[in-house]
């Protein structure tokens, strides 16, 4: 049976250590601000690239007119113009926040838009903005314009070796959505840094292409406070952050970027991702998940938005350890071993069962919902009958999760507060479906009781009298133990003897203390 304490993450909003889901994205209406300027980030630069490719690939640069000399950083303007004129544009690439026009000569036009730069195509009859700094005339009569209000943008013309040795490109880290940017890379990049996580993610040598807006959004979706020290993130938090970064970048590209004031794509169109932002530029507004007010602080000199409820900064309190496993993995045995060693364990399943005793709150709610047929001969809730109902009906499963949560969460909240008042420094939360139900977002570390699938299957069939098909169906209904293993900070292997498992628990407990 699915644990009574399992619940969808959205139901956890009332929990004091609430966290947000990476699946929450909601339209909240236009958020244009005439006073806000922001540097185009990876999604905006990639959108510009995609929108220009079909217009400029294969075209020749018939002429070039430099209207603001300081925009050309290398070489000097005269040499720049002579080497660009008559050159065919082979392709348009991007690396991080840089655009790269590959020319037939082998040279590369390297552009960085900085704060207010724009690169877009215009027909020859269209009026030109007074902020145009470079004008490339193409052989089809159209213009490729570099416009820049605040004149921070930069253009360089580099030979192959000069591009290879260009410091910013040489030191640039991997980009989101690439093979090189995987969760293990992110874990290694963070574990040696005591900087705030917001500052680390803005470092282009760590992750290329991220800027203020998408870092704030990713941290919100991962449920991580921007002032967390990078090396304090547990493996599950790194996993969630990796997912969140890829998600916000992919959605930003899909939505054509984020436009507040200056940004347009290569065809002069604005993006609309600003309509889906959860925290960025929403300070003072209510969080879309929990209803608390979005706050703004400065981290490393950068304005930073976050939800203090969904992204808690739990410093100076007890360390919460999530203890979990799969069905028939032996988690309960490890939980008992920990208690014998003196650990404080809050068993969420026991809380759920206590609330489901005759005439207790859950008992009353379940009886009313399912009817008297859900009771056994002793007038108690029949777990097997409930299991059959919820296992075959996702709607019933969601109902039972949502119904059980407020009561279980209130009890857990009281128990944690009581232990903290007593000065307990380490508290274990025994949660069977820690990942599936979203409780992984409230703990500091995760311990996993792991067994092989063959052992798990054999134990479940023997314990519950299931057929192999029935047992596999219940195992497959949970997140696989192998995926949980990738996200857990401590692994207790439980395929062996009781003594072998106990030895691992003792060693892990000593190490934790």
**Confidence (pLDDT) at 370:** 85
CATH number of the domain that residue 117 is part of: 3.20.190.10
pLDDT band of residue 229 (cuts 50, 70, 90) is very high
**In a 10 Å sphere around its CB, with 0-12 CB exposed, 13-18 middle and 19+ buried, how is residue 216 labelled?**
buried
**Over residues 451-464, mean pLDDT:** 92
146 and 192 share one domain? no
Q: What is the side-by-side strand order in the sheet with 117-122?
A: 61-66, 132-138, 143-148, 117-122
Measured torsion, CA atoms of residues 463, 468, 470, 476, in degrees rounded to the nearest 10: 100
Q: What is the mean pLDDT of the chain?
A: 89
| Lookup: tokens for 281 | 């530029």
157 and 203 share one domain? no
Is 177 within 8 Å of 250 (Cβ atoms)?
A: yes
Q: Which residue has the tokens 């944690």?
A: 416
CATH number of the domain that residue 455 is part of: 3.40.50.300
**Confidence (pLDDT) at 36:** 58
Is 84 within 8 Å of 61 (Cβ atoms)?
A: yes
**Confidence (pLDDT) at 26:** 42
- Residue 463, in any domain of the structure: yes
* Whole-angstrom distance, CA of residue 468 vs CA of residue 476: 12
* Whole-angstrom distance, CA of residue 270 vs CA of residue 386: 52
* Whole-angstrom distance, CA of residue 53 vs CA of residue 45: 12
- Residue 23, in any domain of the structure: no
Last-in-domain residue among 306, 325, 357: 306
Number of helices (H) and strands (E), helices first, in the chain? 18, 16
Number of domains in the chain: 3
263 and 162 share one domain? no
Percent of the chain with pLDDT over 90: 73
* Catalytic site positions: 40-41, 97, 302
435 and 500 share one domain? yes
- Residue 1, in any domain of the structure: no
363 and 506 share one domain? yes
Residue in 193, 214, 351, 218 with CA at minimum distance from that of residue 273: 214
Is 64 within 8 Å of 84 (Cβ atoms)?
A: yes
| Lookup: tokens for 165 | 């040795």
- Residue 29, in any domain of the structure: no
131 and 81 share one domain? yes
**In a 10 Å sphere around its CB, with 0-12 CB exposed, 13-18 middle and 19+ buried, how is residue 395 labelled?**
exposed
**Strand boundaries in 14-69, DSSP class E:** 61-66
| Bridge-based pairing state of the strands 302-306 and 295-299 | antiparallel
Cβ neighbors of 332 (< 8 A, separation 6 or more) are: 430
| Lookup: tokens for 333 | 């045995």
Computed over its alpha carbons, how large is the radius of gyration of the chain?
Answer: 28
* Whole-angstrom distance, CA of residue 90 vs CA of residue 315: 54
**Confidence (pLDDT) at 239:** 96
**Over residues 95-116, mean pLDDT:** 97
**Over residues 137-143, mean pLDDT:** 96
- Residue 277, in any domain of the structure: yes
Last-in-domain residue among 306, 330, 356: 306
More confident residue, 10 or 300: 300
**Confidence (pLDDT) at 316:** 62
Residue in 32, 456, 496 with CA at minimum distance from that of residue 260: 32
**Residue 108: phi, psi to the nearest 5?**
-130, 130
- SS3 of 315-334: CCCCEEEEEEECCCCCHHHH
**Residue 392: phi, psi to the nearest 5?**
-95, -5
- Residues 235-285 have pLDDT tens digits of 999 999 999 999 999 999 999 999 987 899 999 999 999 999 999 999 999
- Residue 100, in any domain of the structure: yes
Is 113 within 8 Å of 150 (Cβ atoms)?
A: no
Q: Which residue has the tokens 């009817």?
A: 371
- Residue 4, in any domain of the structure: no
- Residues 368-392 have pLDDT tens digits of 888 888 888 888 888 778 777 777 7
| Bridge-based pairing state of the strands 117-122 and 445-450 | unpaired
Is 231 within 8 Å of 479 (Cβ atoms)?
A: no
* Whole-angstrom distance, CA of residue 36 vs CA of residue 212: 13
Residue 428 has pLDDT above 60, yes or no: yes
What is the extent of the structural domain holding 273?
183-207+210-306
Last-in-domain residue among 288, 306, 324: 306
128 and 61 share one domain? yes
277 and 321 share one domain? no
70 and 200 share one domain? no
Q: H-helix or E-strand containing 99?
A: strand 98-103
131 and 221 share one domain? no
Q: Omega of the bond prior to 192 within 30 degrees of 0, cis?
A: no
pLDDT band of residue 310 (cuts 50, 70, 90) is very high
Is 43 within 8 Å of 470 (Cβ atoms)?
A: no
Measured torsion, CA atoms of residues 47, 49, 55, 58, in degrees rounded to the nearest 10: -160
- Residues 144-203 have pLDDT tens digits of 999 999 999 999 999 999 999 999 999 999 999 999 999 999 999 999 899 999 999 999
- Residue 138, in any domain of the structure: yes
Is 442 within 8 Å of 324 (Cβ atoms)?
A: no
| Lookup: tokens for 374 | 């859900």
CATH number of the domain that residue 278 is part of: 1.10.8.50
Measured torsion, CA atoms of residues 410, 218, 274, 56, in degrees rounded to the nearest 10: -160
347 and 492 share one domain? yes
- Residues 55-101 have pLDDT tens digits of 999 999 999 999 999 999 999 999 999 999 999 999 999 999 999 99
Q: H-helix or E-strand containing 112?
A: strand 108-112
- CA distances, 310 to each of 216, 222, 226, 305, 315 (Å): 13, 9, 12, 12, 15
Mapped onto helix, strand or coil, the DSSP state of residue 475 is helix
DSSP symbol at 175: P
**Confidence (pLDDT) at 19:** 38
**Confidence (pLDDT) at 390:** 74
465 and 335 share one domain? yes
């Amino acid at each position: 049976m699915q644990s009574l304490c399992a619940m969808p993450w959205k139901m956890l909003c009332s929990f004091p250590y609430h966290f947000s889901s990476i699946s929450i994205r909601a339209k909240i209406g236009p958020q244009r601000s005439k006073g806000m300027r922001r540097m185009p980030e990876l999604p905006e630069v990639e959108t510009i690239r995609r929108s220009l490719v079909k217009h400029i690939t294969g075209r020749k640069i018939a002429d070039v007119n430099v209207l603001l000399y300081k925009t050309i950083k290398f070489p000097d303007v005269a040499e720049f113009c002579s080497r660009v004129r008559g050159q065919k544009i082979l392709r348009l690439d991007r690396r991080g926040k840089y655009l790269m026009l590959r020319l037939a000569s082998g040279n590369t036009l390297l552009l960085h838009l900085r704060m207010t730069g724009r690169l877009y195509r215009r027909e020859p009859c269209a009026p030109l903005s007074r902020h145009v700094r470079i004008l490339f005339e193409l052989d089809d009569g159209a213009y490729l314009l570099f416009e820049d209000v605040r004149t921070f943008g930069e253009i360089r013309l580099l030979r192959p070796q000069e591009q290879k040795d260009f410091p910013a490109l040489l030191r640039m880290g991997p980009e989101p959505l690439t093979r090189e940017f995987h969760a293990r890379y992110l874990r290694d990049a963070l574990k040696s840094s005591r900087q705030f996580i917001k500052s680390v993610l803005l470092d282009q040598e760590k992750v290329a292409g991220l800027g203020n807006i998408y870092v704030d959004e990713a941290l919100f979706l991962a449920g991580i406070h921007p002032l967390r020290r990078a090396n304090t993130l547990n493996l599950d938090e790194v996993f969630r952050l990796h997912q969140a970064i890829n998600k916000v970048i992919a959605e930003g590209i899909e939505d054509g970027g984020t436009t507040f004031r200056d940004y347009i794509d290569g065809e002069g169109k604005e993006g609309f991702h600003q309509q889906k932002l959860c925290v960025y530029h929403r300070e003072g507004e209510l969080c879309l998940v929990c209803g608390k007010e979005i706050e703004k602080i400065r981290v490393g000199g950068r304005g930073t938005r976050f939800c203090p409820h969904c992204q808690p900064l739990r410093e100076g309190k007890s360390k919460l350890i999530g203890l979990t496993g799969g069905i028939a993995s032996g988690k309960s045995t490890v939980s008992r071993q920990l208690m014998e060693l003196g650990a404080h364990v809050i068993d969420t399943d026991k809380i759920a069962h206590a609330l489901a005793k005759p005439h207790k709150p859950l008992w009353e709610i379940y009886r009313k919902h399912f009817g008297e047929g859900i009771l056994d001969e002793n007038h108690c809730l029949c777990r097997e009958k409930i299991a059959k109902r919820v296992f075959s009906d996702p709607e019933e499963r969601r109902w039972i999760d949502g119904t059980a949560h407020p009561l279980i969460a209130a009890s857990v909240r009281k128990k944690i507060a009581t232990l903290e008042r007593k000065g307990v420094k380490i508290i274990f939360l025994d949660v069977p479906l820690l990942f599936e139900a979203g409780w992984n977002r409230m703990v500091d570390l995760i311990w996993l009781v792991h067994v092989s699938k063959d052992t798990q299957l054999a134990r479940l069939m023997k314990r519950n009298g299931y057929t192999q098909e029935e047992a596999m169906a219940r195992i497959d209904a949970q997140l696989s133990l192998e995926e949980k293993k990738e996200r857990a900070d401590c692994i207790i292997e439980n395929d062996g003897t009781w003594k072998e498992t106990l030895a691992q628990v003792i060693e892990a407990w000593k190490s934790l203390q």
